[in-house]
Every structure is written in structure tokens, then in C-alpha cells.
């Protein structure tokens, strides 16, 4: 797992993810829902956040991450997300 991903639990299924980029650290809020976690089949929220960051890095640069990422939006936007998460 990459060492440059810092995940800080914020309570209520929210996490602040800090990633190093070329210019400055990128801060992204991740919001999870119990329903989205059920779709993935995991209740280890921090692991889901880390694996989601790794998945998204394969699709875009860290500097292009939005300020807020809703897990349900990732599920809806990427056809290969659920198979990647369930298959890991």
C-alpha cells in the first residue's frame, strides 16, 4: 500500500484523506454510507477508503481529486469499481 496516503477518521462515516502531490498536499473528504459499504461487502471503512483512493489513482491524477468524494458517486460513475473492490 502506498505510504503517501494519510487517512484521518472524522466520525459519521467521513474521512479526510491527505495525499502528497507535486505542488502541495491534496486534501479530500470521503463520505461513506452503510448502503454503499453493503454493496462492496465490507464494514472496514478505512480499508474501503484506502482501496478507493488507489482505484481512483488509476483513473486520474491526485491533483485532480475533487474536494469531496461520495462513495455512492464512485460506485455509480465507474463500472469497474465494484468488481475491483469485491475482487480484491
pLDDT tens track for 31-63: 999 999 999 999 999 999 999 999 999 999 998
Rg, C-alpha atoms of the chain: 12
> And the C-alpha cell for 6?
494519510
Give the pLDDT of residue 3. Answer: 62
Q: Are 60 and 23 in contact (CB under 8 A)?
A: no
Q: Are 42 and 34 in contact (CB under 8 A)?
A: no
The answer to whether residue 1 scores a pLDDT higher than 60 is: no
Band (20; pLDDT cuts 50, 70, 90): confident
The answer to whether residue 88 scores a pLDDT higher than 80 is: no
Instruction: Give the global pTM.
Output: 0.91
Residue 15 and residue 7: Cα distance in Å, rounded?
6
- Is the dihedral angle over the CA atoms 23, 64, 88, 73 positive or is it negative? positive
The answer to whether residue 2 scores a pLDDT higher than 80 is: no
Cα distance between the two ends of the chain: 13
Amino acid at each position: 500500500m502506498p505510504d503517501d496516503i494519510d487517512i484521518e477518521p472524522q466520525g459519521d462515516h467521513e474521512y479526510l484523506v491527505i495525499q502528497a502531490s507535486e505542488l502541495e498536499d491534496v486534501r479530500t473528504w470521503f463520505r461513506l454510507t452503510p448502503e454503499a459499504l453493503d454493496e462492496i461487502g465490507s464494514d472496514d471503512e478505512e480499508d474501503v477508503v484506502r482501496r478507493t483512493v488507489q482505484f481512483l489513482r488509476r483513473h486520474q491524477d491526485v491533483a485532480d481529486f475533487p474536494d469531496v468524494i461520495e462513495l455512492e458517486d464512485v460506485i455509480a460513475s465507474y463500472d469497474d469499481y465494484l468488481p475491483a473492490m469485491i475482487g480484491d
